[in-house]
């Protein structure tokens, strides 16, 4: 268990965060369409290679969540697999292991992927992975989220986390309350509190070592279509209060998801939260908020490689500073 604890602490090392580069093929295809680039195994390899070989990445990034396809692809200049390449840079390789969503009642979802999970985790560990990720999705709407959906997702997250630790992998536990909708920040606070509370109840019931996990929650925001948008200070205060009431202090760190926020908002919210006295290291596990500018700069063209890498490093550095309230 001490290895798990050490890895969890390294994932949330002060001044560093986690790059979420685990977009599924359909999601990646959608992103590539926005830059008029065909999504193929080769073009996705080129894109991930651009991100992961950016000069100085190891100064700001502690770990990278990979998609299954990327896990087996190669860094292009050395020919080694991405997990081997990241390890050589002292960056922890991680792997997304959930297998997407399925319907659960009216307008709600649960995450699938427990079947055969132990075998997959063992294989990923043997090939260099040191942590995994599983995302649950909670929707705010008319009479939802239901308690049944929250509890079912919490149980599934706990079973996944238990299997990860048995395989010597640190589980990233991600109960994401979606910010799509017109709900208020108070409704977001309530749903996030319920999700976190149920998740930790189940983690404890399943004998998961809380010192060997990393929590990846949403920030407490106004719904994106809400007429009143809470400001940076309100978001920071509500999020810190929500975490303080629902997250045990044994958890070594919290790496927020960006959830589709504008890049700068995700950075400024993180910076503001780190001005508070916290029981945990608060950092980032961003996908779009780290990659969007780099994707646009790259545009699918090899001649734009350096520009794209500079755009990525600029966002990584800004969020590194935000993780120590350095902006």
pTM as predicted: 0.96
Contact 108, 146 (CB under 8 A): yes
Helices (H), the chain: 2-11, 25-33, 41-52, 57-60, 68-71, 82-88, 117-126, 147-166, 185-205, 232-246, 263-273, 288-298, 305-322
Active-site option among 96, 216, 238, 272: 216
Question: Can you give the pLDDT at residue 327?
Answer: 83
Q: Is the pLDDT of residue 242 over 80?
A: yes
Q: Which two tokens stand for residue 206?
A: 């399943």
pLDDT average, residue stretch 92-110: 94
Q: Which two tokens stand for residue 164?
A: 């990860």
d(CA 9, CA 154): 23
Active-site option among 75, 108, 152, 174: 174
Instruction: Give the whole-number percent of the chain exceeding pLDDT 90.
Output: 96
Q: Tens of pLDDT along 2-15?
A: 899 999 999 999 99
Q: Is the pLDDT of residue 1 over 80?
A: no
pLDDT average, residue stretch 294-303: 96
* Helix H or strand E segment including 256: strand 253-256
Q: Where are the domains of the chain?
A: 2-322
Domain 2-322 has CATH 3.20.20.70: yes
306 assigned to active site: no
Question: Can you give the pLDDT at residue 266?
Answer: 97
**Contact residues for 82 (Cβ-Cβ < 8 A; gap 6+):** 48, 52, 64, 66, 70, 71, 73, 74, 75, 93
pLDDT average, residue stretch 298-325: 97
Task: Give me the numbers of helices (H) and strands (E) for the chain, helices first please.
Answer: 13, 10
314 assigned to active site: no
**C-beta neighbour count of 207 within 10 angstroms:** 10
Strands 101-103 and 109-111: antiparallel
When the pLDDT of each residue in the chain is averaged and rounded to a whole number, the result is 96
């Amino acid at each position: 268990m001490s290895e798990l604890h050490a890895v969890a602490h390294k994932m949330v090392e002060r001044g560093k965060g986690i790059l979420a580069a685990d977009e599924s093929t359909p999601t990646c295809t959608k992103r590539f369409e926005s830059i008029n680039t065909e999504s193929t195994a080769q073009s996705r390899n080129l894109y991930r290679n651009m991100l992961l070989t950016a000069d100085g990445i190891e100064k700001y990034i502690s770990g990278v969540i990979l998609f299954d396809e990327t896990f087996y692809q190669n860094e292009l200049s050395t020919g080694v697999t991405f997990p081997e390449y990241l390890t050589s840079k002292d960056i922890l390789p991680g792997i997304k292991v959930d297998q997407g969503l399925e319907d659960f009642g009216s307008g709600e979802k649960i995450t699938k992927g427990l079947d055969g999970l132990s075998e997959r985790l063992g294989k990923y560990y043997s090939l260099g992975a040191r942590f995994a990720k599983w995302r649950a999705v909670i929707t705010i709407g008319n009479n939802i989220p239901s308690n049944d959906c929250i509890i079912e997702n919490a149980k599934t997250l706990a079973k996944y986390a238990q299997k990860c630790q048995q395989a010597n992998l640190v589980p990233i536990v991600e109960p994401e309350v979606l910010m799509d909708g017109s709900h208020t920040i108070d409704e977001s606070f309530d749903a996030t509190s319920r999700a976190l509370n149920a998740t930790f109840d189940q983690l404890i019931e399943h004998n998961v070592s809380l010192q060997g996990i990393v929590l990846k929650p949403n920030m407490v925001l106004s719904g994106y279509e809400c007429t009143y948008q809470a400001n940076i200070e309100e978001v920071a205060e509500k999020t810190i209060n929500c975490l303080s009431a629902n997250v045990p202090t044994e958890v070594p760190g919290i790496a927020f998801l960006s959830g589709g926020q504008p890049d700068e908002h995700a950075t400024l919210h993180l910076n503001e939260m780190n001005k508070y006295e916290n029981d945990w290291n608060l950092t980032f596990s961003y996908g779009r908020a780290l990659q969007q500018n780099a994707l646009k700069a790259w545009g699918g063209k090899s001649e734009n490689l350096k520009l794209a890498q500079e755009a990525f490093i600029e966002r990584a550095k800004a969020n590194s500073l935000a993780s120590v309230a350095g902006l």
